[in-house]
Structure 1
Amino acid sequence: MFRNRLSSLFLSVFVLGFAFLGFAQRADAQVLFGSVSGAVTDQSGAGVPKAHVTLINKATSVQKEADTDESGHYTITDVQPGNYDLKVTAGGFKPLTQTNLTVAANTVMNGDAKLQVGAVSEQVTVEASTVTLQTEKTDLHTDLTEKAILDMPLNQYRNFQTLINLVPGATPGRFQNAIADTPERALSTNINGTNRNNNNTRVDGAADVFVWLPHHAVYIPPAETIQEVNISTNNFDPEQGMTGGAAITVITKSGTNQYHGSAFEYFQNQTLRAKQFFETGPKGDSKLNDFGGTFGGPIKKDKLFFFGSYNGLYERDNRNTGLVTLPTAAIRTGDFSSVLGDYVCTDGTTSATPCAGTKTPVMVTDTNNVSQQDRVGMIFSPSTGAGNGTGRRQYAGNILPAIDPIAAQIIALIPALNAGAPNTDNYSKSATQKLNRNNFDAKVDWNRTSRHSIFAKYSAMKSVFHGEPSLGQAIGDCACDGGLGDFHDFVQLVTVGHTLTLSPTLVVDGNVGFTRMSEYGQTPDFGTNIGSDVLGIPGTNNGSDLRSSGIPFFSITGFADLGNPEGWNPAYRNDWSFTSSHNVRWSHGKHQVSAGTDIIHHHLNHWQPELGSGPRGEFDFSGSTTALNGGATPNLFNAFAQFELGLFNGTGKSDQFIKATAKEWQFGWFVGDRYRITNKFTATLGLRYEYYPLMSRDGAFSFDRYDIANNEVLLGGIGGNPAHLGVTTSKKLFAPRVGVAYQINDKTVVRSGFGITVDPLPLARPLRGFYPLTVGSNFSGVNGFVSVGSFSPNPPAGGSVLPPCAPGTFNPGVCFPVGIPSVCCPDISSGTISLPAQALERTVGPGELKRGYIESWNLMVERKLPADFLVSVGYVGTQTVHQYGDLNVNASLPGTGQLGQPLNVAFGRTTDTLLFQGWLSANYHSFQTAITRQFSKGLMVKGAYTYSKAINWTDDDGWAGLDWNDPNILRRNRAQAGFNTPHIFQLAYVYELPLGKGKEWANSGGAATKILSGWQTSGTFSAISGQPGWDSPLRASGASLNAVAQAQTPDQVGSVKKLGGVGPGNPYYDPTAYAPVTRVGYGNVGRNTLLGPGTVNLDFSLFRTVNLTERFNVQFRVDASNLFNSPHFNNPNGDLTSGSFLEINSAKFDERQFRLGVRFAF
């Protein structure tokens, strides 16, 4: 007995020490639990002091108790989400039981109770209301229940994040980045105008973040394992920090006192799929199997429980991804005679007929000394005329005299045309992607004592992905959701937590978590140095390092990508995050005081030389080298002619010299008080303090920074340099929270609040590793009309007038580089390195690196409506201060080209040099409304409408470049956000048909009752306006602008008419409203000026549940995504130089798809 008591005492002391260690995560453990707070009154409304309140979990029999204070108030904190009975007893009153009180995570449930005078033996039992006003909290949040997740239509991967679309202020969730990186197919969304990186997802308390791509959750719990999801979007409680957009809390299922389980399979294939709008020919083979099972129950009744699951997803998808442009047979031989277009006039306009009258023609001479009028599509010899592109001669007949032999080898790999118009949009891409994914989950809950509960959770995901190239031997991009080649991912998530009740008014809780993600991938051209050994282009691959093997990327404006365009691939990653959170909560009268501390640690480990052009190298062909300065704007045919001559405008390559690592800590402390001033008025006050020390690296140096004044990279901790090189972070990040809720009557409550949250972006994202970790080089010509180099020492006749450079060297204007010049292998021993002229660089400056923060506020009215509906209406706003962004400090002004680059003047440096700092801003204003009906009497409804406007300078804050770096027009970047979606309407429902046993109709027994029983339907309807986020801004040729790191846009020369066309030759907007810019200066079109097409969609499900016995049932269902097969078009082509300018020639791959499913449950 003594030993047992000693062991118990030791464990309690250990847990208390664990609770106050001070380690924590992005958001505190309170969001894992809910609370019940209320007032116990008599029939006159007077408070009943010292009433005893007992809350009983119906699934596990766990009880929590509290006594009311002198005014009749009580609060029970740290309540595990679930279904409860609430019992209230007091001397002289009848005992009261409220049944089926649902407690959700991160919510305070109203537990008011009105007692009747009477004897203890006179029991009163009432059903808890399904419609509960939010009177105790002032945040904005949305709850997704188990029933909503299982019964509402989800996307093809059955991802719960699909339902985040139902959250007011959320832009529609979208897949981003390659399947290779996100095999869980996490969805990205912007909440209330904030950047996608500002969202924070936790699974059972563990931070669920992909450190390198923090807008993604790295692990997505299978739908069958989720008990509930809470999404808090504005004016967070002080317990929640290190998030700016949405704090998303996922609670997974636990075992109960009864054994429960399921087995399921969902299936879809091409037979059940409609054709995509632009799909030509027969549908490609596709198949998706989603299957698995769950099982949970008691190990020891009322004490120890388990829950486990397996989910396998196997996908095969051969898809047509739309039309692209490949060269015709004539163009492949250098014959461009068939592509001549409009005539060019001296005023910069073009005409279908020769310029005459008031229009003076631009006259040119060809290589046979024949004079003629300039036309769009004419190909000019780069070896003629002046160095600025003026005075050039057209190739006679518009036919090249010869083709570079290396270009000819690449052309031989290009497949034959198979669709579309003769010269453009003439090839339909298709290829196969394969995904095998397996998820495993296990959870154990232990009620150690009536006051102490502990849980442990382990999740794992293993996947293999294969992506085929779209152009066969010519590679091209992946006709898939990203990732050429074969990729292997392994994700693990572990979390342990506890709750300890020290007294009825004092509770501590805490959890620690660990998340790890490993990935490695190889491209389809892996293993052979195609660039250097097969094509013979110097400087492409990296000798014996197979990780850089393969074919380079050839980017030809207006044509499909050739070679391997995935500069980020291959990738070898091993990232992890440690999180923990601990809190104490004290209930005292009308106050509920809480305090806690948060810490998170991220650790990134990468070999991925993706800066600039990737490990195989890249060659860019814009068309200006074969165009005339002062003539027609270069188009796609000029670009391909330039490729055939082997003359490129830009080139580059990336080598990983040192493994990229980043280690960083994020700290947070908070104190808060929820003060129930009266039964109708509640105030929430809180203060957080957060601290984000500067990241550091593993290895020889701890940090690196570019010294712009001396053109040197400094390495922290080497050669006497201080560890952080004079870079500091703020120690003044205080984040107050204040909110009030006033209950006008039993049907209406008004809430308002203001709060500040801090941008939690891991610095590993923007500062992962530039020079000297990754040596990314970029070479460009002295102006837009001069090539930077050639494939061969002796380009085709008329290719170049300069002699070839010595191998690996670069001396613009003096010699002509052959292949990619070498930039490699810095000596780090002294701690100070001169930065090569062509090495890409992003750096922070000395002094404070400002971290952004978000101010959020709201004013909402919530009201109960008849038929158990609850509606909220109000205004929600945010403002981001010190948003992270880049400024290219080596940008030049119009007309100055490379010669005008400040660092070129000082040090001969001609490539991008990015200064990263928190110096931008954003704001958001919205009208938001939500309608909710919890499931009762056979119906559940959840909907939202948002009318909003989001304004920013850039749509990201982790890799956030500006369109214009000219200090004279910097504010031109400030415009509506690319993700700005003015109108978003979403409405979802689940409905049990009133037919069959126990229902309103067909309930008399017999065959009709058997056939019609158990039917349900569900659906999600959406109507969403378009977004401007495409080719932002509209693009035009920058040849006449002649400015480095400045976007060029067209001139708007007429009113912009929405024509609504779709497909080749049918523009969506009137292209004649825009004209190319031929002067030295910017076009007059700004950023994000046009909206793309909106979408209307209905996802629909029909299913029937058949009860086999009292405990066993089987469900058969049909899900239809996009039931009416409404095409959801991508945005128009925004490139003025393209032959399909402002045309829509592609659509999203969300055509109608039926899915069949069967689910056995007990």
Structure 2
Amino acid sequence: MGLVQRADAQVLFGSVSGTVTDQSGAGVPKAHVTLINRATSVQKEADADESGHYTITDVPPGNYDLKVTASGFKPLTQTNLSVSVNTVTNADVKLQVGAVSEQVTVEASTVTLQTEKTDLHTELTEKAILEMPLNQYRNYQTLINLVPGATPGVFQNAIADTPERALSTNINGTNRNNNNTRVDGATDVFVWLPHHTVYVPPAETIQEVNISTNNFDPEQGMTGGAAVTVITKSGTNLFHATLFEYHADQALRARQFFETPASSPRKGKSILNDLGGTYGGPIKKDKLFFFGSYDGTFERDNRQVSTGPLAGIQTVPTAPLRAGDFSAITTKIYDPATGGGNPSARTQFIASSNSSSPNFNAACTSASGCPNMIPTARLSSVSTQILGLVPLPNLPGDTANFFSSATQRLTRHNFDGKVDWNRTGKHNIFAKYSAMRSVFHGVPNLGKAIGDCACDGGLGDFHSLVQLVTVGHTLTLSPTLVVDGNVGFTRMSEYGQTPDFGTNIGLSVLGIPGTNNPNDLRDSGMPFFAISGYANIGNPEGWNPAFRNDWSFTSNHNVRWSHGKHQVSAGTDIVHHHLNHWQPELGAGPRGEFDFGGGPTALAGSAAPDRFNALAEFELGLFGELNSGAGSNIGAGRSEQFIKATAREWQFGWFVGDRYRITNKLTVNLGLRYEYYPLMTRNGAFTFDRYDFTTNQVLLGGIGGNSDNLGVTTSKKLFAPRIGLAYQINTNTVVRAGFGITVDPLPLARPLRGFYPLTVGSNFTGINSFSPYASLSSGIPVICCSNINISSGSITLPGAALERSTGTGLLKRGYIESWNLVVERKLPANFLVSVGYVGTQTVHQFADRNVNASLPGTGQLGQPLNCAVPNYATGTCTTLKFGRTAETDLWQGYLSANYHALQASINRQFSHGLMVKGAYTYSKAIDFTDDDGWASLAWNDPSVFRRNRARAGFDTPHIFQLAYIYELPVGKGKQWASGESVVAKILSDWQVSGIFSAIHGQPFSLTASASSLNAVGQRQTPDQVGPVKKLGGIGTGQPFYDPTAFSAVIRPGTGPNPYGDVGRNTLFGPGSVNMDFSLFRTFNLTERLNLQFRTDAANFFNSPHFNNPTGSRSSGNFLIITSAKNDERQFRFGLRLAF
């Protein structure tokens, strides 16, 4: 998920707290407490106060022995006390009167109530990460699914963007960018895609993961969803090493639900190997330790462009259709040159068999003419040349007639190293370095015609390097005063090149003006041609190529003071994000894009255009009607970058907190954070840029007499209070309640990375859905900008250039209010359960608002920044405003979201052969839009703005997850067959583990053709004309919901309820049930050397998990499920040698 992002003062340590009493329950003052790390012998000490209470802070996670001595009492040692990060471990001690020589030893309990902290958090131990079934990349983020309030983690974005295959998730109803991950104190965020971590530590290197999700401690800020702390392993006084390899391939994989022996006689090649090793130990015993690891991932996976019943199958034009012969098709093809400009008066194409006629087509054999056949002379030579690159069908029919597949390749190397130095008994220092280097190769599916990538995203070759460095220390100034701090640095560099890189195919080969850039090789390649209903042609990846070099710096410093019943803390965070990009991805890509929806060859007021109309439009060389419904739905356009996109952004936080133990039963947590987010700046000729919506000028900060911030300010009032109460009713039950505010930490570099004059992105459309913009022979207009003169500090924004900008004045940054009321109780057999109410509310959520959207029936003329005085009767503009037809977004914090949930968990730490971790969430999440980085709205019309408020797209009402690890009680030393028999030896040392999940479906929206709506920047939905019936069908011709309940809107946009009467996210898709299962055995080769063999089975029962039904009313698959998730059963074998 990447659960992601920023660098905050997250707690890298745990605490141990308790009360020393005598047999009567009276406190033992001045008792001396010593905490000893069992692996490194590092010690921490404290003295109990007058009431017998003690606290030891800044304790690294691990297993400890607690020794307590007091005059007149027997010394007591509590062994195997487990300490976790961001957790207060309670260790009450009862001393017996006696001599110093009479030692008492007890085992620490594995069940500890959370009696002092009031946050909600979940711990993932080393054992859970190594022994529970993880996903195919063995990513620890898989187990974040076990956190109450977490939606199932998913891969998002291209594999080229995230070769670490980070998972993204939503926590407690907040958007995915609000999460926060740190690795050993260093920020771990992909600044450009902040819902991803940029580095994912290999499972073999992780000691512990802590996930806080609500009412955070004051030390934790700059987060709204989850604060994830990852602690990697350190060396110990004993040398330890591992060697491992895990293997999966297509022979161990079940077929996908829609994949049959008939459609795919052989399963495509799919090999994934994960291999490596770790080594750690003492450099100097008790003083200096090291740990290092290598993890290599090698994936070769045969992929297809599509999934579902038609996996790998697309539609390409047949030979007759390529020649303009639509005579065998029932769809009527109309001539856009007829009708006198009235699209409702057009006449059908008729070709002639007379070779001397201008309407001649050799396919016509009728002397009376051939209806639905385009004369050869009318076919665009450019289109004909393009179609010549497209492979002919290799399957029968005029639809679903082409199959292709290819093998994507990922090679990834992870290196980790860590050194810990116990400099003195009071000063500990650590340093860590991690690196990931990868190469990814994605193959196009149409050969010379390029087409979509038969991969997880990323045509061509992508090279990535990620580095993470952190240095930290803990200094105990006295038994009651401790300071700690760390600095971290994370860097990601990446460059990618598409397979068509190096040749200006659009400009030089096809001769289409306005494509590519003859002066910049980075803009080379083939334009994208999106013909509705057909396979994409050309290079569709507008974001590719990409050249990135981003880094983040973190500096966190804290002080903790124990005084009587108070545990006071204070500290500061400093975060710096630094983005450097060359990636012109504003709508269309740098090579250009042309969309074909079919409107120009259809008859207005008649049947809606279909794919044959779209193909005919393409063959005529026309493009760019409004609401084409094809490609990016931009009509036509191109992106070009002139200046490297840079962003420099600082984030500051200060906090103070007090954990006040009023009585042995009641603890109050008080805290206050103050955060400040200065405005981001550019690194170049100007400091900031802002669009003036009233003058159509782009203002440039710091030049031409302009101020650096151009009148944009950020809040200096971002105070975030925290309060919590914990009351221990009895030794088995505690009640906790808390409330807190956190600030949305989204880097402004995400939404404001680079618009004009750094990058220009154009889109051109006709005046309505039936009128093309232009022809391929005329190409894409050059909107600017060979030499931009910025010396005045003000430049005119071209009318076709896409734009996103802040307004003037205060840029409101969102914040999240969170609260909880939880009851936690110990149960027999070492179980711990909790049940509670959890809520969040997001205030001032960032989002776009397209201020250039037009109202229904007004089309392009009605765009506010285009025409000041439109004449709708004549379709002309009487008085021009700015002539802007491109999307123009005002980006500001002005929306809200809320979430309410019942959350329950059950936990049993591993003991007596069993570990259990489960979570259940019953919830509802409501928002206006699901994101805040690039967050568009369905409706920008102020009169229907509230229609945007609905269930969130990630809303999942019911989520149940249950994980376990179980040592089979059979074999040597166990309950059954425990002797030395052959049976005992065969059955010894077997374990099983698994994760069971039952998850409700997520909502989806219904859309419809916007031809009749005739509005820019607005969504069209169907009308509901009957009761919604869930039919439950799967696959072609088997609707999941009854499609007859909805009808397309064909009334004009000026009529009543022009948008349709169906809201956003009104229907739910299918839910899922899944079981991941592992079976493994450990062979003890020597006293210290063991070999583990394991079999993991993802989706053990091979339960199909379906994607949502098609939501477009215009699609022939409306409300039909046509694909399933690629998570069919996959076995994986592994060997792990350890000592």
Sequence identity percentage: 76
Kindly indicate whether residue 302 of structure 2 is the aligned counterpart of residue 325 of structure 1. Answer: no
Kindly indicate whether residue 385 of structure 2 is the aligned counterpart of residue 401 of structure 1. Answer: no
Moved more, 846-855 or 1135-1144: 1135-1144
Q: How does 1:388-537 map onto structure 2 within 5 Å?
A: 389-396=343-350, 397-402=371-376, 403-418=379-394, 422-537=397-512
Q: 2:18 is aligned with what amino acid?
A: G
Q: Say if 2:7 and 2:188, in contact at 8 Å, map to a contact too.
A: no
TM-superposed deviation, 1:1011 = 1.1
The 2-side partners of 1:181 and 1:337 are apart by: 45
Per-residue displacement from partner, 1:816-848 (whole Å, max 9, x unpaired)?
x53444432332122110111111111001100
Moved more, 318-327 or 1136-1145: 318-327
Structure 1 unaligned spans of 5+: 1-23, 341-376, 793-816
Moved more, 397-406 or 912-921: 397-406
The 2-side partners of 1:386 and 1:1155 are apart by: 66
Aligned to 2:1112: 1135
Q: 1:443 is aligned with what amino acid?
A: K
Q: Say if 1:39 and 1:74, in contact at 8 Å, map to a contact too.
A: yes
Aligned to 1:1112: 1089
Aligned to 1:818: 779
Aligned residue for 2:846, secondary structure, equals: strand
Q: Say if 1:540 and 1:820, in contact at 8 Å, map to a contact too.
A: no
Q: Say if 2:246 and 2:1133, in contact at 8 Å, map to a contact too.
A: yes
Aligned to 1:12: none
The 1-side partners of 2:900 and 2:372 are apart by: 55
Kindly tell me the number of residue pairs found equivalent between the two proteins: 1074
Aligned to 1:88: 68
The 1-side partners of 2:533 and 2:934 are apart by: 25
CA 1:1020/1:426 → structure 2, altered by over 3 Å: closer, same or farther?
Answer: farther
CA 1:428/1:1057 → structure 2, altered by over 3 Å: closer, same or farther?
Answer: farther
Superposition misfits of 4+ residues, deviation over 4 angstroms: none
Aligned to 1:293: 277
The 1-side partners of 2:928 and 2:661 are apart by: 42
The 2-side partners of 1:302 and 1:425 are apart by: 68
Aligned to 1:348: none
The 2-side partners of 1:1132 and 1:330 are apart by: 33
Aligned to 2:627: none
Q: 2:849 is aligned with what amino acid?
A: L
Kindly indicate whether residue 1042 of structure 2 is the aligned counterpart of residue 1070 of structure 1. Answer: yes
Q: Say if 2:7 and 2:185, in contact at 8 Å, map to a contact too.
A: no
Aligned to 1:895: 857
Q: How does 1:126-525 map onto structure 2 within 5 Å?
A: 126-279=106-259, 280-281=263-264, 282-320=266-304, 321-322=306-307, 323=310, 324-340=314-330, 377-385=331-339, 387=341, 389-396=343-350, 397-402=371-376, 403-418=379-394, 422-525=397-500
Aligned residue for 2:507, secondary structure, equals: helix
Aligned to 2:1018: 1046
Q: Say if 1:885 and 1:916, in contact at 8 Å, map to a contact too.
A: yes
The 2-side partners of 1:128 and 1:785 are apart by: 76
Aligned to 1:581: 556
Aligned to 1:1150: 1127
CA 1:336/1:1134 → structure 2, altered by over 3 Å: closer, same or farther?
Answer: farther
Aligned residue for 2:865, secondary structure, equals: helix
CA 1:197/1:675 → structure 2, altered by over 3 Å: closer, same or farther?
Answer: same
Moved more, 1083-1092 or 483-492: 1083-1092
TM-superposed deviation, 1:428 = 4.0
Aligned to 1:720: 705
The 1-side partners of 2:817 and 2:421 are apart by: 40
Q: 2:301 is aligned with what amino acid?
A: D
Aligned residue for 1:1010, secondary structure, equals: helix
Per-residue displacement from partner, 1:171-230 (whole Å, max 9, x unpaired)?
000000111110000000000000100000000000000000000000000000000000
Kindly indicate whether residue 1070 of structure 2 is the aligned counterpart of residue 1096 of structure 1. Answer: no
TM-superposed deviation, 1:636 = 2.5
Aligned to 2:9: 28
The 2-side partners of 1:25 and 1:119 are apart by: 53
Moved more, 241-250 or 904-913: 904-913
CA 1:388/1:40 → structure 2, altered by over 3 Å: closer, same or farther?
Answer: farther
Q: Say if 1:701 and 1:715, in contact at 8 Å, map to a contact too.
A: yes
Q: Say if 1:388 and 1:785, in contact at 8 Å, map to a contact too.
A: no
The 1-side partners of 2:211 and 2:295 are apart by: 24
Q: Say if 2:8 and 2:575, in contact at 8 Å, map to a contact too.
A: no
Aligned to 2:884: 909
Q: Say if 1:388 and 1:786, in contact at 8 Å, map to a contact too.
A: no
The 2-side partners of 1:65 and 1:25 are apart by: 33
TM-superposed deviation, 1:387 = 3.3
Q: Say if 2:301 and 2:408, in contact at 8 Å, map to a contact too.
A: yes
Q: Say if 2:6 and 2:189, in contact at 8 Å, map to a contact too.
A: no
Moved more, 432-441 or 1001-1010: 1001-1010
Moved more, 388-397 or 306-315: 388-397
The 1-side partners of 2:446 and 2:398 are apart by: 18
Structure 2 unaligned spans of 5+: 351-370, 625-634, 868-880
- TM-score for the superposition, normalised by structure 1: 0.91
Q: 1:1039 is aligned with what amino acid?
A: S
Aligned residue for 1:597, secondary structure, equals: strand
Aligned to 1:1018: 993
Q: 1:400 is aligned with what amino acid?
A: I
TM-superposed deviation, 1:866 = 1.5
The 2-side partners of 1:191 and 1:338 are apart by: 54
CA 1:1086/1:335 → structure 2, altered by over 3 Å: closer, same or farther?
Answer: farther
Aligned residue for 1:946, secondary structure, equals: strand
TM-superposed deviation, 1:911 = 0.6
Q: 1:528 is aligned with what amino acid?
A: T
TM-superposed deviation, 1:1021 = 0.8
Query: Cα RMSD between the aligned structures?
Result: 1.4
Aligned to 1:363: none
Kindly indicate whether residue 747 of structure 2 is the aligned counterpart of residue 762 of structure 1. Answer: yes
The 1-side partners of 2:811 and 2:329 are apart by: 53
Aligned residue for 2:177, secondary structure, equals: helix
Aligned residue for 1:1072, secondary structure, equals: helix
CA 1:696/1:44 → structure 2, altered by over 3 Å: closer, same or farther?
Answer: same
CA 1:886/1:849 → structure 2, altered by over 3 Å: closer, same or farther?
Answer: same
User: Which residue of the other structure, out of 1101, 1105, 1115, is the alignment partner of 1:1124?
Assistant: 1101
Aligned residue for 2:1003, secondary structure, equals: coil
Kindly indicate whether residue 694 of structure 2 is the aligned counterpart of residue 709 of structure 1. Answer: yes
Aligned to 1:852: 814
TM-superposed deviation, 1:964 = 0.8
Aligned residue for 1:908, secondary structure, equals: coil
TM-superposed deviation, 1:1028 = 1.7
TM-superposed deviation, 1:330 = 3.8
Aligned residue for 2:1065, secondary structure, equals: coil
The 2-side partners of 1:1066 and 1:393 are apart by: 37
The 1-side partners of 2:1021 and 2:335 are apart by: 27
Per-residue displacement from partner, 1:293-337 (whole Å, max 9, x unpaired)?
000000000000000000000100012332333334443333334
Q: 1:818 is aligned with what amino acid?
A: G
The 2-side partners of 1:636 and 1:829 are apart by: 49
CA 1:428/1:950 → structure 2, altered by over 3 Å: closer, same or farther?
Answer: farther
TM-superposed deviation, 1:566 = 0.3
Aligned to 1:932: 907
Aligned to 1:97: 77
TM-superposed deviation, 1:948 = 0.8
Q: 2:387 is aligned with what amino acid?
A: I
Per-residue displacement from partner, 1:598-643 (whole Å, max 9, x unpaired)?
1100000000001110100000112211222211122222222212
Q: Say if 1:539 and 1:822, in contact at 8 Å, map to a contact too.
A: no
